[in-house]
Amino acid sequence: MWPYPKIVAHRGGGVLAPENTIAAMRCGLTHGFYAVEFDVMLSKDGVPMVMHDPELGRTVQGEGSIADYTAQELMELDAGAWFGVNFIGEPVPSFEQVAHFCIHHNIWMNIEIKPVPGFEDQTGWVVAQAVKRLFEHSLDRTPGALPLLSSFSFDALRAAQLAAPDIPRAFLIEEVTPDWHERLLALGAISLNTNHKHLTPLLARAVKEAGFGLFCYTVNEPARAQEILSWGVDGFCTDRIDLIGPRFGEEPAHISPSSR
């Protein structure tokens, strides 16, 4: 149900590096993470880019919609200055750049399809096709070898399902709704990915008994991480890669009072 790593670095390096950049991927790797989550949307010219926000301004200098800029224009923008002087000039990476970095370093990828509003179908299709091309000649066809495509957008995941049915999918949902089972079946999804803040032991049990993986975001306190794992949660992503290591939960962990 969950053949993937248990602990995943959120957006590459969590709070330790500018999110969704190659610098963030390097940071996660330095901390021993061989599993990473990142976001992908399309540029004006239809190129998958690793970015979280559909609008510029928060982590990437500039203004306007991502859909108004070509891939080359986006790659020339600064995605690191907001985080600190050591990252000034860190560029916006393309999906291809991040994927090749991860493949080279044997890093598993949880790829969140995060479309600019109005581009759900196109983004799901293009991203899934890009992943399919990267892995169609892979010799390792075991369940955990392929990336996982996830999205809050049902339409984007449905398009991904049509474009690359062999690439596994997970449905992201902030707060689990009563039709979760029906929606997972419709998408051929293998996992439900949800906000740990709204999860209960009863709901966790229902998801697992239905035969699906259960993944949570974004867990930053070791005590909470241990709690949800005891409920049967298969894995989670974290921003606090300095507090929660890649082997968390495999042996008894000391929890300092400050992290409770």
List the structure tokens of 34.
Answer: 């061989």
User: Is residue 196 among the annotated active site residues?
Assistant: no
CB 90 within 8 A of CB 24: no
Ramachandran category for residue 161: left, alpha or beta (phi over 0 → left; psi -120 to 50 → alpha): alpha
d(CA 163, CA 160): 5
- Write the CA distances from 150 to 123, 164, 170, 209, 254, integer angstroms: 12, 13, 5, 21, 32
Catalytic residue among 10, 31, 137, 254: 10
Nearest to 233 by CA among 199, 210, 260: 199
Amino acid at 128: A
Is residue 259 within 8 A of residue 243, CB to CB? The reply is yes
Which of 52, 105, 137, 196 is catalytic? The answer is 52
* Known active-site residue 10: yes
Cα gap 199→156, rounded to integer Å: 24
Q: What is the DSSP string of 1-32?
A: ---S-SEEEETTTGGGS-TTSHHHHHHHHHTT
Question: Which H or E run contains 100?
Answer: helix 95-104
Beta carbons of 142 and 134 less than 8 angstroms apart: no
Question: What residues are labeled active site?
Answer: 10, 52
